[in-house]
Structure 1
């Protein structure tokens, strides 16, 4: 009797412990009512194209009404034909499964799970196959049936289950395998996706199409058996070939650099505190245009291939530079620091490894390019290419040259110098001597800015000098009228935020900027003197479609509209008859446009910054390692390395009627004074070169009429010139009156 009582106590205790353990692991009522599966965040272009997904589990939640009716039919026919009849647990199937498990002595419990039980496991429980976990699954399934309708359970299931290839949920799976939303799935496509649920690897249609097709047809037969489809539909569906539009989730999407920029910056708003971009199912609406993005990528890819071929034909790596590359490599450092190999031995071994050396030099000598396009009226980012990728296998450059790379802009910076002078009342028709100006440093050396081709000329107008990018005139303009601090002040007013060195060399673009920063500043010219902060994101919505962050354009007055218009007219001359003339002569651009080329010392950086009233686009070309550079002006200057990509991009954009871009004229302020004049580029002594009308700001016209520009002014930089260790100025001899005018490079 005592033994029986003791046994009863033990059994009751064991049952109590089992019950405590069972209920301890069950989801709470709140968790049942508000399940939180991890949802992918979706990034959309302004024209509604899905650009990218951020996820740990690639899942997008959609309601049942947005899922093809064939998908739940295939699921029920395959997994749970009594789904609409039971209350979470199919007792008949459960009894049969219990008997099989007991008879076969299984320690891992399996079988008889209804759709609701599978949902309970997917949402709240572990994947272990133990008796206790199975008991929790049964209880949780009953609770789910009490909390949700049958259709809500179907929706939850189809949105949480794994379909293989990194796709969680049927919407993600439909996009991954068929490139379409779940609402458009056909009978055979629905059956194909449901087939993966048995084994997401073995029945993956992209990897094992034969196995997938076989199971698909089995499921179609089950759908016919359960009368979800007719025999005729079944015959037709089984005869349909397996056709995929497979896009693996590792695919970087249309604008990989842009979406990575979004990922890094989307949480800057206080309203997004605590939001997880990988789990919370956000919808991020950007300003990018997918059509312009494609044109940008095509233009960059084509031009980069041309530049790479030209560079590869002409570049030979100096032995001294090759040695530097080897010593900087992780492999060399590993051999010396971790393996204890002497430097000379390590260097010799690596030099002897021809395949390794070839790969090292290959990676060091890849041409890199960047293109960013903005809408100048509001700062909307329309296109963004942060690097040169020749194919998906080459997506190795995570460094984004649009916003992370800062390089010398060269002559692309000159418009800020001229803008400062024009705004202070110097007319575009003012003539300056096109001769070198030598600035003596404290160490006794000289800094002499020369024109790119090394030639000089006589008195030359500012308009002509900017159109033909004459360094000598630009430096003399800064020397005579502007201090470095004034140039910096105007550049800052127009959107340049990077540090700038306060010396006269800044006039030639020696302080580094990013392409995004330069594009922002050029929106000043395109938008009547008002620049806009780049605006990549319009709205961020939560998984329920509620707006949790919204961004508006931010504009700033950078330049007086009258002075700005004079600058626009001068920058139009760059394209119409200056260093950027290839845009029209070679690439056939016929819209109203303006811009500026830029080339830095030793052809390290090539730029073109161009704009219309509707689009500002900046292109940069160069190499990640500045010790590698283009080998000649034949192809390495801004007009030949960067301008072709800009011109190709702009032409494609303006040729696409769906973009609704049109040829608009730049707005002329009412107070601009137009004065007829004559002259030609062959006549350097003419007051104005190759224009029939010269434009003046009211201030410039008043000063011109007063005779302020009849003689050379006293330079503002007399005395201590703002160069490193500078102490004085030395002018070169003046040219003879018959000196030849400068030629465009």
Structure 2
């Protein structure tokens, strides 16, 4: 807008100089031409298609060439090809010693096709590849179905052989594409019969059997040439999913249905008639064994490893995980030590005869490295191949732990300061409600006892009191924190305070690993079975590292360890049966009602060892934990620690030692005073009550000087003192002797006897006596003196005695009186010589 003259706006400066003016629009920017793409856009559609497809076609061409070149050497050599069929699994110990293997190619025998029954060959062809003798080795339909629908099926026998021997089992387009060309290469190098023979000798049939020879033997106990139509159809039926379709360990119903399907396909291809199908289907098959005989030194451990591999490497939804694992060719380095395993087996075997004589049949044991959680040895049963109970792994089967459960909640209560080792409980008849009145194993009551003594003696009333004080819920939570998952809050609600005596159920491995946490200052590792996994090409397979957690406080772990390793506190009940010579070891036994289960679990800072003994069917035994399971534990721990220096449990910060009064467990006002003892406490859980030492005096005989004296009761020493006052009698032992020189019968202290001066033959004095009244008088006086403190000696039958006592006998009575009275007196004393002439005063 134009302003009037004279009122023009001053010129603007700077950034606002052109404010209000209409800006001229800039000319449009020209599109930048991408000259380097012009050649493509200017091409014809045909050329563009060729440019796009050429890399893909080159890829499709190069892949089979490279695949063939890579595998050509193995494919062209039948032995090398079959040796690549390491589709089983190998387990080694921690030092790479062979432990267990299933289905390794090097361990199989190749069975010639002519030595395999026609029914087996026909069943396989009808079910798996009816056009086997017609196709070039592959099925395009099967390849594309596997690539885009991502599931198996449709592969020819040659393709399956390629997968089992050369390639992996993953369901991808690339792997299937490689499979096609490997199959073609196999077809070019071998005849159809050779391919069929190799397939039958390499495929997995379930029940840990690879190849037709193992399968025929394990399932039916016969050679492949002797397999019937029904048996052949059953074996072929399990091939798609051996674990699920096995008639032995899988589903017999599904196995029978699969057999029917195979027989039906044989009818479809004209291999058999309907009548033969019906007859074979109706046949009742008998199997060689419901369980394979295993020669491994650690069969239960091997099964645990296989289960862990399946869980970690395959999804939970994969129903064929086990079969895939058996075909994987994995080489697994485990945590087990073969030498330790053999030692544990030997210790179990040595105890079995003793167990058998006392009603026990089975035993299980485990050795765990406290610092890592790795299992170094595991015996699941005394005899794995026992058809009745051997296959059951009692190391992982939950059982009632009895008193071996007590340290779990004791440790929790100690860790939280609810109790201390010096807390005093009353062991007396107690009703905890609902008529629950537990007894001790010895059926006795022990009055006031400390926490230390209560668990060392395995007393039940104080233990139930401790759980009641700590709380059932907290006790269960402590068990869960220590890895005992089978005891839940529902278990606590159901069992109530009886849980304190081990009425819940826990496995030996979980219980032992809980104790291992005590030995590792409260830090607990997950139970370790596997060190490393390699695939069949010896490449490392990713495996998770061991993890640990804080299961209980260091202070709680130390206090329970200190108590359980107190041999002196335990000795009066268990003696030395649980002592490891020269080593500190914490240990606790457990026995359930009627001795159905016997446990001993113990540890030091290096190893935790657990032992269970019993019967799988819960029948009672005659003895309990320390007697039945204890020797296995003690022998195992002793050998584990042989040649090693003793290792103490380290005292953590936050734990102190104080003097407490024996009388009430209060803190003593004077350290190390008589009537006190040393005990360990958490710094935050010291006794709040103090006590003055009250000392009681007692009268005793000092055996050194034979004098009675007054001493404090806690100073009594049985080697120096006697509570029997008669041991300090002031009257000395005296005997009658003949004074050889004086020819007199006298009384002297026994210790003063001297054979040169005295003779114990009193008759020698009498024979030389003149019969004088003086002699008689002296003898009578001495006799009276000897008996002066006991009784008077009457001269009955002496006609010459008118005075009434021998001391008053008149000298005028003559020799005849002396002889008479002397004879009578001698006769009187002769029959009671020990009581009369040798009296203790």
Q: What TM bracket, shorter-length normalisation?
A: 0.5 to 0.7
Q: 1:650 to 1:690 in 2, by over 3 A?
A: farther
1:293 aligned counterpart, secondary structure: helix
Instruction: Report if the CA contact (8 A) 1:54-1:277 is conserved.
Output: no
1:267 aligned counterpart, secondary structure: helix
Q: 1:707 to 1:507 in 2, by over 3 A?
A: farther
2:395 aligned counterpart, secondary structure: coil
Q: 1:142 to 1:369 in 2, by over 3 A?
A: closer
In the aligned structure 2, how far is the partner of 1:266 from the partner of 1:565?
35
In the aligned structure 1, how far is the partner of 2:101 from the partner of 2:651?
44
2:492 aligned counterpart, secondary structure: coil
Q: Report the counterpart of residue 549 of structure 1 in structure 2.
A: 542
Q: 1:396 to 1:53 in 2, by over 3 A?
A: farther
In the aligned structure 1, how far is the partner of 2:350 from the partner of 2:664?
39
Cα drift, residue 513 of structure 1: 0.6
1:450 aligned counterpart, secondary structure: coil
Alignment of 1:132-531 (within 5 A): 251-270=294-313, 276-311=324-359, 367-389=361-383, 397-404=390-397, 406-425=398-417, 426-441=419-434, 446-479=435-468, 481-498=469-486, 499=488, 500-502=491-493, 503-531=496-524
Cα drift, residue 398 of structure 1: 1.0
Cα drift, residue 40 of structure 1: 2.7
Indicate which of 608, 618, 626 corresponds to 1:639.
Answer: 626
Cα drift, residue 457 of structure 1: 1.8
1:550 aligned counterpart, secondary structure: coil
Q: Report the counterpart of residue 685 of structure 2 in structure 1.
A: 700
Q: How far does the alpha carbon of each residue in 1:282-302 deviate from its partner, in whole angstroms, 9 at most, with x for none?
A: 101110111111111111111
2:90 aligned counterpart, secondary structure: strand
Q: Report the counterpart of residue 48 of structure 1 in structure 2.
A: 96
Cα drift, residue 603 of structure 1: 0.8
Q: Report the counterpart of residue 610 of structure 1 in structure 2.
A: 602
Instruction: Report if the CA contact (8 A) 2:424-2:664 is conserved.
Output: no
Instruction: Report if the CA contact (8 A) 1:122-1:160 is conserved.
Output: no
In the aligned structure 2, how far is the partner of 1:509 from the partner of 1:407?
9
2:432 aligned counterpart, secondary structure: strand
2:612 aligned counterpart, secondary structure: strand
In the aligned structure 1, how far is the partner of 2:500 from the partner of 2:429?
14
| 1:590 aligned onto 2:582 | yes
The higher radius of gyration belongs to 2
Q: 1:586 to 1:685 in 2, by over 3 A?
A: same
How many residue pairs align between the two structures?
Answer: 454
Instruction: Report if the CA contact (8 A) 1:467-1:579 is conserved.
Output: no
Q: 1:396 to 1:563 in 2, by over 3 A?
A: closer
Cα drift, residue 251 of structure 1: 4.3
Q: 1:617 to 1:588 in 2, by over 3 A?
A: closer
Cα drift, residue 585 of structure 1: 5.1
Q: How far does the alpha carbon of each residue in 1:665-699 deviate from its partner, in whole angstroms, 9 at most, with x for none?
A: 112102211124686xxx99999999953111012
In the aligned structure 1, how far is the partner of 2:531 from the partner of 2:676?
43
Q: How far does the alpha carbon of each residue in 1:704-735 deviate from its partner, in whole angstroms, 9 at most, with x for none?
A: 14569x9xxxxxxxxxxxxxxxxxxxxxxxxx
Cα drift, residue 504 of structure 1: 1.1
Q: Report the counterpart of residue 52 of structure 2 in structure 1.
A: none
Structure 2 residue runs without a partner (length 5+): 1-66, 76-80, 109-157, 164-183, 191-197, 215-222, 226-291, 669-673, 694-841
2:617 aligned counterpart, secondary structure: coil
Cα drift, residue 602 of structure 1: 0.9
Instruction: Report if the CA contact (8 A) 1:283-1:542 is conserved.
Output: yes
Q: 1:523 to 1:296 in 2, by over 3 A?
A: same
In the aligned structure 2, how far is the partner of 1:251 from the partner of 1:588?
34
In the aligned structure 2, how far is the partner of 1:521 from the partner of 1:539?
25
Instruction: Report if the CA contact (8 A) 1:271-1:549 is conserved.
Output: no
Indicate which of 631, 649, 667 corresponds to 2:636.
Answer: 649
In the aligned structure 2, how far is the partner of 1:447 from the partner of 1:409?
19
Q: How far does the alpha carbon of each residue in 1:498-550 deviate from its partner, in whole angstroms, 9 at most, with x for none?
A: 13323111111111111111112112211101122211112221011112232
Instruction: Report if the CA contact (8 A) 1:387-1:400 is conserved.
Output: yes
State the TM-score, normalized to the length of structure 2: 0.48
In the aligned structure 2, how far is the partner of 1:121 from the partner of 1:540?
27
In the aligned structure 2, how far is the partner of 1:529 from the partner of 1:124?
52
Cα drift, residue 580 of structure 1: 8.0
Q: How far does the alpha carbon of each residue in 1:155-188 deviate from its partner, in whole angstroms, 9 at most, with x for none?
A: x99x999xxxx9999xx9xxxxxxxxxxxxxxxx
Cα drift, residue 620 of structure 1: 0.7
Instruction: Report if the CA contact (8 A) 2:366-2:379 is conserved.
Output: yes
State the TM-score, normalized to the length of structure 1: 0.54
In the aligned structure 1, how far is the partner of 2:685 from the partner of 2:579?
36
1:439 aligned counterpart, secondary structure: coil
Q: Report the counterpart of residue 573 of structure 1 in structure 2.
A: 566
| 1:666 aligned onto 2:649 | yes
Instruction: Report if the CA contact (8 A) 1:407-1:512 is conserved.
Output: yes
Q: 1:142 to 1:395 in 2, by over 3 A?
A: same
Cα drift, residue 577 of structure 1: 2.9
User: Which has the bigger relative contact order, CA under 8 A and spacing at least 6?
Assistant: 1
Q: 1:662 to 1:386 in 2, by over 3 A?
A: farther
Instruction: Report if the CA contact (8 A) 2:555-2:652 is conserved.
Output: yes
Cα drift, residue 61 of structure 1: 9.7
In the aligned structure 2, how far is the partner of 1:705 from the partner of 1:554?
40
Superposition CA RMSD, Å: 4.4
In the aligned structure 2, how far is the partner of 1:690 from the partner of 1:384?
47
Q: 1:487 to 1:309 in 2, by over 3 A?
A: same
